[in-house]
Amino acid sequence: MHLVYLKAMIVVATVAALTTVGVSPVWGATPSAISVNAMAAGPDGNVWFTIKTANEIGKITPSGTLTLYPVSGNVQPSSIVAGPGGDLYFTESNGPALGRITTGGTISQIALPPGGGNDQSTAKGPGGTIWFANHSEVLELTSAGKIVMHHQPPSQTHLIWQIAVASSGYVWFTSQDRPRGSSRYALYQLTPAGKEVAHLEPSGQGPGGWLTIGPDANIWFGIAGGADEVVRMTPAGKVTVFPLSKNCGWAGTITSGPGHDVWGGQSAMNAIFGVTPHALPGCIDQITTAGKITTHVLTTTSFIGAITAGPDGNVWFPDSPQGAVGSIDRLTIGGQLSHFPFTASPSSPPIPITLSLTAQVARNSDQTLHVSTAPGAQIVVQAQLPDSTLVNAQGTADTAGAWTYSWQVTSASTGTATVRLTVTSGSTVRHFTKTFQVI
C-alpha cells in the first residue's frame, strides 16, 4: 500500500462558549450502561441513535429533547440509517433480523435468510436500497423489499466492520483479518456486478473501522492502531494521508458533514483499537476536501463513539468522558458547542416498563394488557390490528405501578397486531412497542 502524506494545514480552534442544556433524563438502563453506538439524521428533522447496551433506539430534537424507544428482545441495536419511506433501519448485533422504526416510534423487524443476522453496520444506497453487513456477509434490502446476500468467497479470511455505499452503486467496507483481534486491516470494494476487489491489502496501517463517502465522492477513513491520521482515497485507488493534531486523541469516527466538508472525531480512549486510554482531550476535526483541517478541542477527555451531520446543518456526536455517562453534543460550523446531558436526578428517576400480553389471540377473543411501571404514571395505548383498525385506551397506574386493560379483538383479518405504549411520569416520557398475532 503506497501512502502519500501531505503537510496539512491544521488550525486548532477552541470551541465557543459551552452551552449545557437541561433536558429531562430518559433511561432504559442504568446511567453507567449508556453507550451510544451509532447516529443518523432522521427524515423528521431529528437525530436518531442506538444504545446497544440498553437495547434502545433514541432520538434527539434540534432543541435537545430526548426520547428513547425500547426494542423487544435482547437484539442489541447497533448501526442505524434513514431509509426509504420515511423510516429508519437498524442492525441487530444479537438478533436474526433487520430492524425498522418509524419516526413515530413503531418498531418492526425484517426477517433475514440463513447466514444473515448479528449485523454490525448499515448504509443507505442509491435507488432506495439499504445495505448492511455482519462479520462475514454483505446484504442488501432492495427497493422492492427483497433481501439479497452477497457472499464472500469461501477462501476469504476477513471480518467486515463498517460499510459505505457510493452513489455509483459501489459498496466499500473495512475489514479485519481473522482471527478477530488481528492487527491487520484492509479496505474492499464490492462492484454492482458483485465482484469483490481489495483496494488496500491487509496491513497494520489499514483503515480502522469507520469510513464515509465524502462530498467529493472520495472514500474517507481513519487509520487503525491508534494513529492520528485521516485518509482520502479516490474511487480509482489513489491514497492521500492527512496528519491530524497530535494534541488530541486518536482518529476514529467520521462522517460527510455540513459545509461540504468531512468531520471526524478524535477520541481520548478508543476501545475499538484496543489502545490504552490517555489524558489527551477529545477533538472534532473539520476537514475540507482539499485537506485543510480545523480542530475543535473539547473540554473533556472524551470517547466519541459516533458522529453524524444533523438535519439542522450541525454536527452531532455522543461525548462520553472516561468514567462518566456523557451527553449528546451539538457543534455548529462556527464552533459553538452545546451539551445535552444524560443526567439522572432524584426528581426524575428512570421509568420502568413491563408489558405483558397474550402472544396469539383468535379473532373476536379478548386481549389483555398488563402494564407494570412507576406508580401514578400516565399510560396511553394504541393498538393497530391487521385490518388497520385502531384501538385506543388510556389510564393511570395504581399505587403499585400496575394497570390492566382488556378489549375484544374484532379484526377482519389475521396477522400481526402492534401495541404502542406511551408512559409519562413527571417530565419523563418513554415509549414501548410490542406485537402479537391475530389468528
Per residue in 270-286, pLDDT tens? 333 333 344 566 788 88
What pLDDT sits at residue 167?
92
What pLDDT sits at residue 47?
96
Is the previous residue joined to 179 through a cis bond, with omega within 30 degrees of 0? yes
What pLDDT sits at residue 322?
52
CB contact at 8 A, 89 and 130: yes
What pLDDT sits at residue 403?
93
Q: Give residue 48's Cα distance to chain centre.
A: 7
Euclidean distance between CA atoms 67 and 69, whole angstroms: 7
What pLDDT sits at residue 192?
85
Domain range annotation of the chain: 4-341, 354-438
List of the chain residues with pLDDT < 70: 1-34, 115-117, 151-158, 177-183, 201-209, 224-227, 249, 268-281, 299-302, 321-326, 342-350, 427-429
Per residue in 64-101, pLDDT tens? 888 888 887 778 899 999 998 899 999 988 888 899 99
Architecture of the domain defined by 4-341: 7 Propeller (2.130)
A 10 A CB-CB count for 265 gives 30
What pLDDT sits at residue 123?
93
C-alpha cell of residue 166: 457510493
What pLDDT sits at residue 312?
93
When the candidates are 2.60.40.10, 3.40.47.10, 1.10.287.1080, 2.30.30.40, the CATH number that belongs to 354-438 is 2.60.40.10
